[in-house]
């Protein structure tokens, strides 16, 4: 019925906190939609369905149970033929804040004196280790809404690019596929594997275009200084 154009896939998105609702329809099994983070908060509930887009008369199916053998049905446009409640999507309160428990990143202080930072992605979270001074600045700046995009562009973005590049090299993903950070990235961005050929662009998508927000923050900080 989908192939014939009588039915389509439908996804219903709803956020109870903000009363946001959106319906996406497609004749293909894979499709996407972009939602501004300002429209949703906490949790986004998702239900997938197959819905008739036109009336269907005398419908029958040879693969049905024998109890329905020979029966035909008149179905109306809008009838739901199948549905499934999918896993809810958790929405971070602030997409620029990567220090919370829900984050796939863990920013830590290192004992060594070197000023360069290290990235370890062999555990459940991507561990970024900073020098003492850098760590203190990162923690303080991450509590400032204006500075968060700036420090994350300096720390989170290059770390994520490095990790994605290593994932791209490992075509089988056998070292990462069971780790929480990889599962989280893949669940929240289904096209992760397909777009690994451009890790720089992909990293920016995954953390919601941090450079653009960093420049916006610079404008605000610079403007305040001018005043």
- Would the pTM count as exceeding 0.85? no
Listed residue (85, 166, 69) closest to 122, CA to CA: 166
| Whether 98 contacts 142, CB under 8 Å | yes
pLDDT the model gives residue 18: 87
pLDDT in tens, the chain (227 residues): 888 899 999 999 998 888 899 999 988 878 778 887 778 887 889 999 999 999 999 888 878 778 888 888 899 999 999 999 988 887 766 555 554 445 788 888 876 666 678 899 998 889 999 888 888 888 888 777 778 888 888 888 999 999 999 999 887 777 888 888 888 888 878 888 889 999 999 998 888 777 777 888 777 767 654 54
CB neighbour class for 10 (10 Å; exposed up to 12, middle 13-18, buried from 19): middle
Return the structure tokens found at 212. Answer: 């653009």
The 3 state secondary structure assigned to 38-77 is: HHCCEEEEEEEEEEECCCEEEECCCCCCHHHCCCCEEECC
């Amino acid at each position: 019925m989908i192939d014939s154009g009588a039915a389509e896939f439908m996804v219903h998105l709803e956020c109870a906190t903000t009363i946001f609702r959106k319906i996406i329809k497609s004749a293909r099994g894979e499709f996407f939609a972009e939602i501004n983070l300002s429209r949703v908060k906490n949790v986004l509930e998702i239900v997938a369905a197959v819905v008739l887009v036109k009336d269907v008369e005398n419908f029958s199916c040879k693969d049905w149970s024998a109890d329905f053998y020979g029966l035909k049905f008149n179905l109306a446009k809008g009838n739901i033929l199948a549905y499934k409640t999918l896993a809810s999507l958790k929405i971070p309160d602030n997409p620029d804040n990567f220090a919370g428990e829900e984050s796939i990143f863990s920013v830590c202080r290192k004992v060594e004196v070197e000023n360069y930072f290290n990235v370890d992605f062999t555990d459940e979270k991507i561990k970024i280790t900073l020098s003492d001074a850098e760590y203190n600045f990162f923690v303080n700046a991450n509590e400032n809404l204006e500075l968060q995009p700036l420090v994350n562009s300096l720390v989170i973005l290059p770390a994520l690019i490095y990790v994605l590049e290593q994932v791209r090299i490992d075509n089988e993903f056998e070292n990462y596929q069971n780790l929480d950070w990889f599962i989280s990235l893949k669940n929240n961005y289904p096209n992760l594997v397909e777009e690994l050929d451009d890790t720089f662009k992909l990293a920016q998508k995954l953390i919601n275009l941090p450079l653009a927000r960093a420049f916006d923050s610079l404008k605000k900080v610079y403007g305040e200084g001018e005043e």
